[in-house]
Structure formats: structure tokens, C-alpha cells
Chain A
């Protein structure tokens, strides 16, 4: 087991992934407002990101 100190993560490490997800989903939310066609597709892909990540982490993880 690692020492307790090395396991502590900085705020940046904690929030980098959530921040990326938030930026990506916001892009999709706004994108579909701007236009149809490709813009809609952009929204579908970006808003699927949180759903896919959730499924990956909760259901399709390797048994440990």
C-alpha cells in the first residue's frame, strides 16, 4: 500500500476530468441550439459522454 501522503490528490487532479466532461457537455448543449444536422450529432456525442462514462465505471469495470 502506498503511503498516505502520495495518495492525496491535488484539487487539479480531482477536478480535471469532471471539468473536461462539463466543458464537453456544455459544448453539446449549446451546439444543438446553433444549427441542425452536424450540430445535432455533436450534441448527441457530447451528451452521451457522461452516460457512457457512468456505465463504464459502474457496470463494465473489471472485477477486482
Chain B
């Protein structure tokens, strides 16, 4: 848990850290209402800069409306987690850069935080740790009561030995943080199931939506992706495109573009809605809301990352994370102390208080 809290801390500010450590090509300065590039033109430019690669996804940058990403891999069936992200200018359609992020500090932190470089088993292991973390919080609430029987809320016995002071710190910080740690802990657990949830969607709703295409040969020539996005945006009014999955990629069928659209509030911008566009005819096949298990995953993401309320929320997230580290460190200390003493911390405290201030001993 300590590893997760420590690696999570820089991840809260991953964009700012990347900006600081790595220079990137800036998109052209344009007026706020400047027209967007034709997506087919943008895509062609991206592929021209990635010899031998095929596009999997076309992604709008959430944080920078002037930039887009094209995610490419060696073949359409290759593992998309190893894809290269090409940054493109959303207005001119020009190639910006395609940095290798795998050596970056934030990438290493992210891998340590999500799967410890061990793939799905690593994720599920950390998910299990997250569940134990939540159980530990609940048991902490339970033992808070006897511990505070004789103390008022927020008691900090500054003049006492370290074990007493750290117990007070552990109790106070732990109980203050209960709501936040439970929310961040549990949504973190849900995030470790992301791969499984998306697989479930792929074999469930997506397979259902594209069932009549199952035996059809993939289109020989793809229709315009720009037109596909327009058809999708027209079919689902009030939503903004978030990304396009190309035919044959994991989030689409062999015969469709899947255009994922998002809403415009912090909550609905996380809830993607797929619109399937036939890549041979360019017409809309189907569009449905995501099933509840995918929506749960989408909602749990911002609640874990803390990236949905501007910079002040990120700073608070970091402060709360530091307090959680304090709870963990004091908790480990108290546990070691208790094991070494062979008696409960309460007994140690009773003993030490007797030594320090005989008047208070019972």
C-alpha cells in the first residue's frame, strides 16, 4: 500500500511533470473557433510518419483541444497496449511528435502503480491489495472506538512518548480520511478490473451489436473516417467525439468504425457512448449506452485519479495522499512495536504513561 501511495503521488501531477521534464512540439496557434482539420487528411499525415504501422485508434486530446492522437501498431491485431501514440495538430492536421514514453519517470511510476510490470496478474494482485486496504480501513474504524473511549476527538498527547504520539496521529489522520481512502481505495480496485470489464463488453454488448456482420468479409476499402465521425455526432446529438476505434481493433468489429462519444459535464464526459458506423457504406448501424459495469468503471476513474476538479483538487488529492502515507507509516510502526513488545499497544501505552506521569495511570 505504501508503494501505491508513494507512486500515486507523482501520478496525480503526471501531466505537469511530463510538461516539465519533456519538451513537446506545440500545435499551431489558432483562433478559438478555427475549423478542425479533415480527419482523413490528418490520419494520412500520421501514417506517412509511421512506416509499416496501421491505425488502431484516433483520439481527441481531453486536455488540449488543439491536439489529437493516432494510436498505431505493427498490425491491426497487435497488442494495443504496445501501440505508439502519434500527436497531431487538430487544426492543421500536421504531424507534431511521437515520443517514446516508456522511459519516462511518470511511465515507470504508472507501471509500478498499476501492475508492477507484471501485466494482468500484477493488476489483479494490486486489486487484491486494494481490497485488503479497504478491509483494513473498516477494521480501523472498529478499533477506533475502544481506543477513543477516554479521549476527545482530535486528542494529540504531544508531551508523551513516540508510541503514544504516533497512535494519536494514526487515529486522527485515519479517521479523518476514512471517506477519501475508502473511495480512492475501492475505485482503485475497480480500475484493476478494467481489462476484464472491457473484455466483457467486447464479447457482450459489442458482439451483440455487430452480430449480423460476424460472417461478413472485412471491407476492401474503408470509407472516410471524417464522414463516419460526422454521421456518429449527428446520430447522438449533444455529445462530443472522444475516440474512434478502427475496423478490426479491439474496440470495434472487422466491419465497423466505432465512434465513442462523451457528454460535457465532469461526470458525463467520462461516460462514453459507442456509435457503430459501417466502414463499407458509412451508415450508422447501432448506438447504445454502455452497460452498467462499464459505466461503473468509467465513473470510478476520476474518483481514483482526482483529475476532475482543476488544480486545487489535485493539490488536495496530494495532501490527502501524504496523510494516508502518514497513517500507513505510523500503522506499521505501531504494529512492529506491538509485535516486539509482545503485548498490545494499549498495554505499552499504559506502561509508558505510568512511567511518564504516574498521576494519569489507572
Complex contact A57–B154 (CB within 8 A):
yes
Complex contact A34–B313 (CB within 8 A):
no
Complex contact B148–A14 (CB within 8 A):
yes
- Give the distance to chain B from A59, nearest Cβ to Cβ, in Å: 9
Complex contact B302–A33 (CB within 8 A):
yes
Which residues from A are CB-within-8-Å of B145?
A: 11, 14-15
Q: Mark B275-318, 1 if CB is under 8 A from A, else 0.
A: 00000000000000000000000010011000011101100100
- Is B211's CB within 8 Å of the partner chain A? no
> Taking each of A7, A40, A57, which has the highest tally of chain B beta carbons within 10 Å of its own beta carbon?
A57
Complex contact A22–B303 (CB within 8 A):
no
* Chain A, range 1-36, C-beta contacts under 8 Å to B: 1, 4, 7-9, 11, 14-15, 17-18, 21-23, 25-26, 29, 32-36
Which residues from A are CB-within-8-Å of B299?
A: 33
Alpha-carbon distance A54/B178, docked complex (angstroms): 13
* Chain A, range 38-58, C-beta contacts under 8 Å to B: 39-40, 43-44, 47-48, 50-51, 53-54, 56-58
- Is B201's CB within 8 Å of the partner chain A? no
Complex contact A44–B149 (CB within 8 A):
no
Main secondary structure of the interface of A (DSSP, over half): helix
> Taking each of B158, B303, B313, B323, which has the highest tally of chain A beta carbons within 10 Å of its own beta carbon?
B313
Which residues from B are CB-within-8-Å of A33?
A: 266-267, 299, 302-303, 308
Complex contact B179–A21 (CB within 8 A):
yes
Classify chain B: how many residues form its interface, as a range: 35 or more
Residue from B156, B159, B308 within 8 A of A57 (CB atoms): B156
* Chain B, range 319-334, C-beta contacts under 8 Å to A: 319-320, 323
Given contacts A8-B150, A14-B149, A33-B303, contact A51 B320 (CB under 8 A): yes
Given contacts A11-B145, A14-B148, contact A51 B179 (CB under 8 A): no
Which residues from B are CB-within-8-Å of A29?
A: 179-180, 183, 303
Alpha-carbon distance A57/B158, docked complex (angstroms): 10
- Is B173's CB within 8 Å of the partner chain A? yes
Complex contact A61–B158 (CB within 8 A):
yes
Residue from A36, A43, A58 within 8 A of B169 (CB atoms): A58
Residue in chain A with minimal CB distance to B171: A18
- Is B362's CB within 8 Å of the partner chain A? yes
Alpha-carbon distance A21/B179, docked complex (angstroms): 8
- Is B239's CB within 8 Å of the partner chain A? no
Alpha-carbon distance A28/B319, docked complex (angstroms): 15
> Taking each of B145, B149, B179, which has the highest tally of chain A beta carbons within 10 Å of its own beta carbon?
B179
- Give the distance to chain A from B166, nearest Cβ to Cβ, in Å: 11
Complex contact B153–A18 (CB within 8 A):
yes
Alpha-carbon distance A23/B183, docked complex (angstroms): 12
Residue from B151, B176, B266, B362 within 8 A of A18 (CB atoms): B176
Which residues from A are CB-within-8-Å of B320?
A: 47, 50-51
Smallest CB-CB A-B distances: 9 pairs: A32-B309, A50-B176, A57-B154, A22-B179, A25-B179, A17-B153, A40-B309, A18-B175, A44-B312
Binding site for A on B (CB under 8 A): 144-145, 148-156, 158-159, 169, 172-173, 175-180, 183, 265-267, 299, 302-303, 308-310, 312-313, 316, 319-320, 323, 359-360, 362
- Extra A-B contacts (14), CB below 8 Å, given A18-B178, A25-B179, A35-B265: A18-B153, A21-B178, A26-B183, A29-B179, A32-B266, A33-B302, A39-B266, A50-B177, A51-B319, A51-B323, A54-B323, A56-B154, A58-B169, A61-B156
